[in-house]
Amino acid sequence: MAPVQTAPAELRRRGWNENSILCLMSLSFNCRSCGSGQGALILDLGLQPLANNLLRLEDLSKAEPKFPLRLAVCQSCWLLQILDLVPPVQLFSEYLYFSSFSDLMLRHAKQAAERYIKEFSLGQQSLVVEIASNDGYSLQNFQSHGVPCLGIEPAANIAKVAREKGIETLVGFFGNDLAKELVGAGPAPIVPLSSPSPPPEERAGERRPFPIHRGTGSWGGGPDQENVGARPAENVESRQADLILGNNVFAHAPNTNDFVAGLRTLLKPGGRIILEFPYAVDLIEKGEFDTIYHEHVFYFSLTALRPLFERQGLSIFHVERLPIHGGSLRLFAGLDRAHPMQPSVGLLLEEETRKGLGSLSYYEGFAQRVAQLKHSLVGLVQQLKQQGKSAAGYGASAKGSTLLNFFGLGKGALEFVADRSTYKQGRLTPGTHIPIVPPSRLLEKMPDYTLLLTWNFADEILEQQKAYREKGGKFIIPIPSVRIV
């Protein structure tokens, strides 16, 4: 373990006192990908609540847990990663992000599924496995085309919704151990490694299909949760997958080597892995600091990922840049030499080299850009309040939690936060404790300005809130730069 390197002069310029600098310089670093002890602190977001831990009113009498949130870069493989981990059971035991509440996510998933079914000739003899399958918003598109599928979802409350749609879903954290169990099981049921008492609805007679040990694998330790699984898909002789999907999950697994090893174990020899995740280049260059929260352990570039996959006998053979979520990367991988290498890989690696991703100087201005953004947005909100204007927020998102807490924008700045998810309405935002209400409240209360915390869905939300805008309401979009629409 080696100390995290940040130049003391840079820290003094940011306003750090000497004791804080000495404390920071003694911190240890160990890259979770390559094991290097050489790391550099890029951004310190202070103590932050869990970004998806939406509170109830009765929770206000309890101490709200907060954890350090600091971003560092490995100076050997150049993987961006947070320094401080929170046990995954705290993060995912009850999760309130349901992908189906976003029209954009539904369209994106449908288009991708239709493309993959056609391009890879997927049919009744195939198996599609999605890691962190959420409420089945993606797998439902394969199911409707008769392609057998299996979801793996760590949050029991969300997996239950997927199962109600008829989508076979395991509750568990994906890793190599779980992959080995699936592959070894074939079409026969897997014997659970532990047998917790069934929940009340199952004791009342609901059938429990295909129980499986949840495992901790890539996600670290913690107590067992409800084990909910699924029967093997019909006509599938092996539990190995023709296609493994991971949409915005790869960055969540702290043991990234174990996660990638699990992908290799679960994959058929000619199968494909397709992962989507926020792209580190967009994070740094657009100042998208609010993408950083405790669930997101990593922020990937192709430079950092290629050696990680090669260590596990996998090859990244194609990449695509996507505009979704402020800039994402779609990565295609398979067993080594199983698929022809596409020009896109070399071209993106060359671009990252030109930009300087393999040098510390590329990352050093990030904290200053975030500080400038904070100055602009907080200054605007204060100016509007001084003018007697009212303000609210839209999108009780994880990224919104990071922004509000780091910028110090609470109930004094925003009267409420509107959100389309019925699972979030009636709760309070983490740390800032702003009430979460239905979007209809915008028209009822007509705040002069609404801070769009889910700016990555700006086009969709601005269209949905056309009536509010026509009546004079304005949206503040905070990233990549503050603007009013």
Tell me what pLDDT residue 155 has.
Answer: 83
Residues of 460-479 as b/e, b for ≥16 C-beta within 10 angstroms? bbbeebeebeeeebebbbbb
Which CATH class, in words, describes the domain spanning 99-362? alpha beta
427 φ, ψ (degrees, to nearest 5): -100, -175
Segment 178-203 shows an average pLDDT of: 48
Q: Is the CB of residue 127 less than 8 Å from the CB of residue 149?
A: yes
**pLDDT score of 385 more than 70:** yes
The 10s digit of each residue's pLDDT in 292-311 is: 999 899 999 999 999 999 99
* Percentage of the chain modeled with pLDDT above 90: 70
Question: Which residue in 130, 134, 86 sits closest to 112, CA to CA?
Answer: 130
Give kind and range of the element (H or E) at residue 200.
helix 200-203
In DSSP notation, 118-149 reads HHTT--TT--EEEET-TTSTTHHHHHTTT--E
**Strand, coil or helix: what is 422?**
coil
Which CATH class, in words, describes the domain spanning 378-484? alpha beta
Tell me what pLDDT residue 12 has.
Answer: 58
**pLDDT score of 412 more than 50:** yes
Q: Which of 21-25, 157-161, 332-336 has the lowest mean pLDDT?
A: 21-25
Return the domain boundaries, the chain: 99-362, 378-484
Residue of higher predicted confidence among 228 and 286: 286
